Structure 1
Amino acid sequence: MTEPLSPEATATLNALLAGTDPVSSALRAQIPYARVTNRCGCGCVTVDLEVDCSVVPPAMGASHPAADAWCEEPEDAGVMVFARDGYLSLLEIYSSASDPITTWPEPRFVGR
């Protein structure tokens, strides 16, 4: 399975990686080349990502997670983006709610 990122996932990634530091900039440049390769089995919107490494360089020095934020609206949830070998690899959403979160937060609610 590979499919394009949804506009909502793309907006969440852009909000998470909005910094001006070199790692955020390099990861943000990978977003147009990222594809969804898998979805979380619980029903939430968490996705595994794969980047076309032939067209964009790695983000040297990316940590784990590469960026994270807590969003209090529309519901309490955390979002994190992970990189493997300098490339986007996972966009995750989590919360303490019993039901899976099925939508990405609006970018204005993603604070770092």
Structure 2
Amino acid sequence: MIESLAADVADVLAAVLNADDPVHVALRRQVPHLSVRARCTCGCGTAYFELVTSEVEPAPTGPGTGVAAEAQLVTEAGECPGEVLVFTQGGYLSWLEVCSWSDDIEVTLAAARHWLQSRS
């Protein structure tokens, strides 16, 4: 089932994709054309995208799959429980992954959103 791009996903992409990086600027242009194709079932918030590629140009990331952006997550206490990674395939946004490095702090997309917004 395809769902529209939820605010939590859009907010995290906006926080991770730097407006000063030309590749990130090209990826930001794709966001209005994104929808969520699926989410990870473990509850982490990882989202897999569907993109209407005929509506946008690919970013200059190369033909394969790669990490186009990443951000370490830092809590208010200064702990680093995980990170967020943005993957592309062939220059198009493909998925947003939420990674946990901690057994003590729950790392979800909602938590990532909060930590990323609190540092700006």
TM band (smaller chain): 0.7 to 0.9
- Do the aligned residues in 1 keep the contact of 2:8 with 2:109 (CA within 8 Å)? no
Matches of residues 23-102 of structure 1 in structure 2 within 5 Å? 23-61=23-61, 64-73=66-75, 76-98=81-103, 101=108
Q: C-alpha displacement at 1:102, in angstroms?
A: 5.1
Structure 1's unaligned 5+ residue stretches are none
Q: 1:68 to 1:100 in 2, by over 3 A?
A: closer
Larger radius of gyration: 2
Runs of 4+ in 1 over 3 A off after TM superposition: 97-100
> Deviations along 1:49-108, whole A, 9 cap, x unmatched?
121111111102257210001011267220010000111001011112345625242343
Using the alignment, how far apart are the partners of 1:15 and 1:100 within structure 2?
Answer: 17
Higher relative contact order (CA 8 A, sep 6+): 1
Structure 2's unaligned 5+ residue stretches are none
Structure 1 vs Structure 2 CA RMSD: 2.2
Task: Give identity over the alignment, percent.
Answer: 35
* Structure with greater helix percent: 2
Number of aligned pairs? 111
TM-score, structure 2 length as denominator? 0.80
